[in-house]
Amino acid sequence: MKYLRIIARLDIKGDNLVKGVHLEGLRVLGKPEYFATNYFEESIDEIFFQDVVASLYQRNTILDVVSRTINKVSIPLIVGGGINKIDDITKLLKSGADRVAINSGAIKNPNLISEAANIFGSSTIVASIEAIKNKDGHHYAYYNNGREHSGFELVSWCQRLEKLGAGEICITSVDNDGTGNGFEIDLVKKINNIINVPIIIHGGCASANDIIEVSKYNIEGVVISSILHYGLIKEISSIENNSNYKEGNIVFLNDMRDYNNLNPINIKSLKNKLSEEIRLRH
């Protein structure tokens, strides 16, 4: 098993870290900078901040989150949400982002990818895809946090994004997001070896075994969230006053509900298990 980049995704709504299922039903989990700092200290490879309502509400508050985090971590930051023009990218890079993730903006204006790649370099541009499997058996690209159908079939859209100059492609399985059902292997098989730029996969991871399973395919990294957040949530909540959260659903925080079929794990334990798997395979 080759080394996989382990990337923590933090979905942001307002000032809060949130998490949902199928990108819906967002529940507040805490302040993102606390989680990001903890993941950095546990040696996460990268952190992916995604403003999940920026495109929908035509607002972008993630600059403040990045600014509060940048002095506490020294690992690559990917930032997405509400990126529709070159100026949006410039502001994010100045705030501390290393790369930007573009989804809705690329669907509405594919030339944004090529223009951004020419200005900032392909390595700075991550094309983000929210994939849903339709009744015809094909996966399609969606946007606005999985609410809007682009009409673009997944494989052909990936190939087009590569030609436009995207340096990396991140694919989220909306069907598996937040479910703890594991990565969507059917989706992974469809995009395996179809393009030359790195692909990272997100959505559904519930255990280290899910990462080991998906490592059999030609991907560069995995993006994980629930498996990390729910393992840390009680510790974070104990040092915060939940009444400070002014926006969003804090019922989960207040009730400390069960984690369904997730097996929360910290990053050090996860990397140790992956290293052991590599040793056994060789």
pLDDT at 258 over 70: no
pLDDT tier, 16 (very low <50, low <70, confident <90, very high otherwise): confident
How far apart are the C-alpha atoms of 48 and 90, rounded to whole Å? Answer: 17
Told to judge if 41 belongs to the known catalytic residues of this protein, a careful annotator would answer no
Q: Which of 130, 162, 177, 210 is catalytic?
A: 130
Q: Which of 11, 46, 162, 177 is catalytic?
A: 11
Q: What are phi and psi of 51, to 5 degrees?
A: -75, 110
3-state class percentages of the chain: helix first, strand second, coil last, to nearest 5? 40, 25, 35
pLDDT tier, 276 (very low <50, low <70, confident <90, very high otherwise): confident
Told to judge if 130 belongs to the known catalytic residues of this protein, a careful annotator would answer yes
Higher pLDDT, 152 or 52: 152
Question: CATH no. for residue 55?
Answer: 3.20.20.70
Work out whether strand 221-224 and strand 148-153 pair parallel, antiparallel, or are unpaired: unpaired
| Confidence (pLDDT) at 229 | 87
∠ CA 265-269-270 to the nearest 5 degrees? 70
Strand, helix or coil at 208? helix
Higher pLDDT, 256 or 2: 2
Residue closest to 226 by CA, chosen among 14, 43, 2, 22: 22
Work out how many domains the chain is built from and give that number. Answer: 1
Q: Which domain holds residue 247?
A: 5-281
How far apart are the C-alpha atoms of 100 and 79, rounded to whole Å? Answer: 5
- 30-50 pLDDT, tens digit per residue, is 889 889 999 999 999 999 999
pLDDT tier, 114 (very low <50, low <70, confident <90, very high otherwise): very high
**Which tokens sit at 225?**
């969230």
pLDDT at 281 over 50: yes
pLDDT tier, 239 (very low <50, low <70, confident <90, very high otherwise): very low
- 153-169 pLDDT, tens digit per residue, is 999 999 999 999 999 99
CB 113 within 8 A of CB 164: yes
Residue closest to 104 by CA, chosen among 88, 91, 119, 118: 88
Average pLDDT in the 59-85 region? 87
How far apart are the C-alpha atoms of 182 and 135, rounded to whole Å? Answer: 21
How far apart are the C-alpha atoms of 280 and 282, rounded to whole Å? Answer: 5
Count CB neighbours of 123 within 10 A. Answer: 13
> What is the DSSP secondary structure assignment for residue 59, as one 8-state letter?
-
pLDDT at 259 over 60: no
Q: Model's pTM, two decimal places?
A: 0.89
